[in-house]
A and B are shown apart, each in its own frame.
Chain A
Amino acid sequence: MPTIRFRLNGIETEIDADPDTLLLTALRGQFGLTGAHFGCGAGECGACMVLVDDRALTSCDMPLWSVADKNVTTIEGLGNQQHPHALQRAFIAEQALQCGYCLSGIMMSAAGLLKQNTDPTSAEVKAALDRNLCRCGSHNRMVRAILRAAKELRAAKETRAP
């Protein structure tokens, strides 16, 4: 089996696998990272989204070979209880979910948006999240949480600036 190398949540990683293995299968299987969820297996619901470099992409239809030498970030790499990402803080503050199965994909989708647009409008957030499905109807709370995180990130950046 060929070896595929990439950076997973900031750590240099290699895996011996069929290059056509799906990224989600490897993440949840070999790497034991179950934050990205299987929803449809066809890239239609977004529950499995991760960041590949700075873009949010579905991992259930993405072969491993396509992430060779790239940066893959999952929800586990976004932040943790000790060092939460602004999005994680904001989703807790807004209580922005019901069942939460779609949540990690939606947060990674939002993380991808905020890399490209630090000051999105509500309509821009919604447009960016159109690749993600939520069945519980938590959409508006999620949009509010993302706008809140964006604001926090901008404020933090200004504080850091000289």
Chain B
Amino acid sequence: MTAKPTPSPVAPLPPSLAANPKLSSWINFAEGQVIVSPGKVEIGQGIVTALAQIAADELDVDIARVKMVRTNTVASPNEGVTSGSLSVQHSGRAIRFACAEIRKIFLDAAAERLGVKPDVLTISDGAISGPGNVATSYWELAGDVSLDRDATASAQPKSISQRTLAGSSQQRLDIPDKVFGRPRFIHDSPLPGLLHGRVLRAELAHARLVELDEARARKVDGVVAIVRDGNFVGIVCDTEASAEAAIAALRKGATWSPREALPDEDHLAEWLKRQPVDTAVISDKKATSPVHVARTIKRQYHRPYIAHGSIAPSCAMAQWDGDHVRVWTHSQGVYMLRSDLALVFKLPRENFAVEHMEGAGCYGHNGADDVALDAVLLARAVAGRPVRVQWSRADEMSHAPFGAAMTIEIEVGLDAKGEIVNWRHDIWSNGHTARPGRADQPTLLAASELAKPFPRAIAVDPPAAAGGGSDRNSVPLYDFPSWHVEAHRLKVMPVRASALRTLGAQGNVFAVESFLDELAFERGEDPVAFRLRHLSDPRSIDVIRTAAKRANWKLAKPDGVGHGIGFSRYKNTGAYCAAVAEVEVGEDIRVRKLTLAVDVGEAINPDGVINQIEGGAIQATSWVLKERVRFDTTRITSNSWTEYPILRFSEVPDVEVEVISRPEIDPVGAGEAAHGPVTAAIANAVFDALGVRLRELPITRDRLIAAMELSS
């Protein structure tokens, strides 16, 4: 009996490839180009370039031949949402394995056509050649080779030394368009016959529309339709200027009444602890030998709601044609948005074709998905014509979801020698995601505003396997003998919260690393040495040592200057990052310098990694020194850049980044690694400068003065 030889897999299929095994859904060849179709989207993180590098490397083509397709629900692989610093991990691995296999399939086909053995053939920029000047190419063979077959992972991707592009800094493919002002963003991409929509949203939170006088708005030139469905009100006009004028007129005719009060902003930390919650034990480690707790110390930390604050207001376009709806969106998950749209309109998912276009950096779940539903609701009223909807700055800052506020309590048990023997960490917070496409109810804003409303979604936490949500980075990375970690997720959500970059990690790392610093200080130990003696993982030790060395830890400090360190491994499974902050406290608190070390395993585009870490470090500095969503009991009040200031150029610290290169280790993302360590490093540096410890974010001059008065 002869068995048909089956290719033996060299490795299990990467998850994204297992979920979308058809090779042609990832890669196609046409007219001298390699068409790469990823399921992850560009959000300013450079993913499109990193993925093009990987494809060009595995296939042996010039990167200039790689054409990256925008993710869409018609043809792209479904890779869920672009989040959690997983794009290189997921899409990158899938494309690497798919391309390795495709390269082998083409080599076999070339060998057959040329009458030679595949192992004598070489590929150079897509041209396949062998001894005796025999030659063909991907494009010559493409008509005969079908990629409509499932991946088997039967070809080994190239070894590190064989790669020429991955691992080297490449210029990003999207940058020339942006530098020359060519249309690239969804905001700048007019469709033929495009109409312009605006949606009326109350300043009051959770408001009910009592009365709407449309008379004034109807008089505005260019009004095509006014749409009202319950508390949802929108307008469609033939120009953007008309739409602005009409929505302003409509606003004057609207009377709203408040329904649900917002919490007391001044006592938010305690408010979070008083709400109904679902409690989950995140981790419980029992000591292997009996420990004796001689005394305990308890500290409480807090971070406020933080706005995504994209520089562009959310924008979408939609066209409703018969039963078929096209949607253009800067959502991070086109398939997930499609699922929620199907739920809202009670239509099959296949009726919606959702296509990604670039927006401004979103840093999580902002208004991108909400505005897409707005656009579809308005497009339905002007059947056949595309409608573009853009939010106002005020709506962006008050109706888009925020990063959830958190209260964190840590109680440490010390033995008679003052060594840490027990560690208890409790978190009170809303869940950290209410993204669309994950539940049987839509989470899109307008869905809760319709005459037949869907319930307002209460945010949940992703499972631990995905890095958790409010509990992200709450399990100690240090070798404490025992610990217990619990998350208390709020079952009410008066302030709308969903995924913001790092989810709960920024708050948890701030708490853990602040407390460690305090314990080191109490023992008279150097904070770097104290951390190192509680760590055994060599990569953790390496990033801390590297950052400390690069920052010349620990410099002598003049009056008013302080240094602090912070460390974490993002999600406990992702990138390692350590940060050293130098702050100066005078009239104001100024972060002068941040020095970071990062280990992402293989850095596909090292300059891209540095860019992400540097950007994360600066954004975290802004969160720490400035940012706090403000509200009274009826409405969000921080609805402009004046009311919600962020870090400005003259306030930005110098940032140095050292990448520890480990090409032999599978890559992980860099986009969220810096926030936690930088937050803690700044807080610790402020303590080093003044001897005052602030446990509530943001760390402002007013809070510092209040704390100093309290301690004196």
* Contact indicator A135/B619 (Cβ below 8 Å): yes
Interface residues of A in 81-111 (CB under 8 A from B): 81, 84, 88, 91-92, 95, 97-104, 107
Measured in the bound complex, the distance between the Cα atoms of B642 and A39 in whole Å is 13
A36 to chain B, nearest CB (A): 8
Interface hits, A114-158 → B, CB 8 Å:
123, 125-127, 129-130, 132-141, 143
B646 located at the interface, meaning its Cβ lies under 8 Å from any Cβ of chain A in the complex: yes
Q: Which of B185, B392, B611 contacts A141 (CB 8 A)?
A: B611
Q: Does A11 contact B (CB under 8 A)?
A: no
Determine whether the beta carbon of B44 is less than 8 Å from that of A136.
yes
Interface-central residue, A80, A92, A127, by most chain B CB under 10 Å: A92
Question: Which residues from A are CB-within-8-Å of B176?
Answer: 81, 92
Shortest beta-carbon distance, A38 to chain B, in Å?
Answer: 7
Q: Within 8 Å CB of A136, what residues of B? A: 44, 361, 615, 619
Q: Does A45 contact B (CB under 8 A)?
A: yes
**Of A35, A78, A135, which contacts B311 at CB under 8 A?**
A135
Set of chain B residues within 8 Å of A139, measured between Cβ atoms: 618, 649, 652
CB of A99 within 8 A of CB of B654, answer no
| Chain A residue contacts of B642, Cβ below 8 A | 44
Binds A, one of B26-34, B167-175, B282-290, B703-711: B167-175
Q: Are B392 and A41 in contact (CB under 8 A)?
A: yes
A29 touches B240 (CB 8 A): yes
Question: Is the Cβ of A39 less than 8 Å from the Cβ of B241?
Answer: no
- Interface status of A37 (Cβ within 8 A of chain B): yes
Contact residue among B239, B648, B652 (Cβ-Cβ distance under 8 Å from A140): B652
Assess whether A101 is in contact with B361, with CB atoms less than 8 Å apart. yes
**Is B648 touching A130 in the complex (CB atoms < 8 A)?**
yes
Is B607 among interface residues, defined by CB-CB distance under 8 A? yes
Residue-wise interface mask of A (28-67) relative to B, using a CB-CB cutoff of 8 A (1 in contact, 0 not): 1100111111111110110100000000000000000000
A39 to B391, CA, bound (A): 10
Q: Secondary structure of the A side of the interface? A: loop
Cβ–Cβ contact A35 & B181, under 8 A: yes
Which listed residue (A25, A75, A101, A141) contacts B614, Cβ 8 A? A141
**What total of chain A residues lie within 8 Å of the partner, measured CB to CB?**
56
Note all chain B residues with C-beta closer than 8 A to A101: 185, 310-312, 359-361
Q: Please report the total number of B residues contacting A with Cβ < 8 Å.
A: 57
- Distance (whole angstroms) from the CB of B246 to the closest CB of chain A: 14
Given known A-B contacts A88-B180, A133-B641, A139-B618, A45 and B311 have beta carbons under 8 A apart: yes
Known: A29-B241, A98-B44, A136-B615. A130 touches B179 (CB 8 A): no
Question: Assuming the A-B contacts A39-B312, A135-B363, are A130 and B187 also in contact, with contact meaning beta carbons closer than 8 angstroms in the complex?
Answer: no
Bound CA–CA A34/B649 (angstroms): 25
Residue in B180, B240, B311, B641 whose beta carbon sits within 8 Å of that of A75 in the complex:
B180
Given contacts A135-B311, A140-B614, contact A34 B188 (CB under 8 A): yes
Q: In the complex, what residues of A have CB within 8 A of residue B43's CB?
A: 99
Residues A138 and B611 in contact, CB atoms below 8 Å apart: yes
In the complex formed, the residue of B with least CB distance to A46 is B311
Q: Which residues of B contact A38 (CB under 8 A)?
A: 187, 312-313, 390
| B649 in contact with A138 (CB, 8 Å) | no
A residues less than 8 Å from B184 (CB atoms)? 100
Given A100-B175, A130-B648, A137-B616, verify A74-B641 contact (CB < 8 Å).
Answer: no
Residues of B within 8 A of A44 (CB): 393, 640-642
* Interface status of B183 (Cβ within 8 A of chain A): yes
Cβ contacts B175-215/A at 8 Å (1 or 0 each): 11011111111011010000000000000000000000000
Asked if B179 contacts A88 (CB within 8 A), the reply is yes
Say yes or no for B14: interface residue by CB 8 A criterion: no
Tell whether B617 is near chain A: CB-to-CB under 8 Å: yes
From residue A14, how far is it (CB to closest CB) to chain B in Å?
Answer: 18
Who on chain A is nearest to B617 by CB?
A137
Chain B residues with CB under 8 Å of chain A are: 43-46, 171-172, 174-176, 178-185, 187-188, 190, 239-241, 244, 309-313, 358-361, 363, 390, 392-393, 607, 611-612, 614-619, 622, 640-642, 646, 648-650, 652, 654-655
List residues of chain A with CB under 8 Å of any chain B CB. Answer: 21, 25, 28-29, 32-42, 44-45, 47, 74-76, 78-81, 84, 88, 91-92, 95, 97-104, 107, 123, 125-127, 129-130, 132-141, 143
* 7 nearest A-B residue pairs (beta carbon): A35-B181, A99-B44, A137-B618, A137-B615, A75-B181, A101-B360, A100-B178
Could you list some 5 contacts between A and B, CB below 8 A? A34-B188, A100-B184, A133-B641, A135-B360, A141-B614
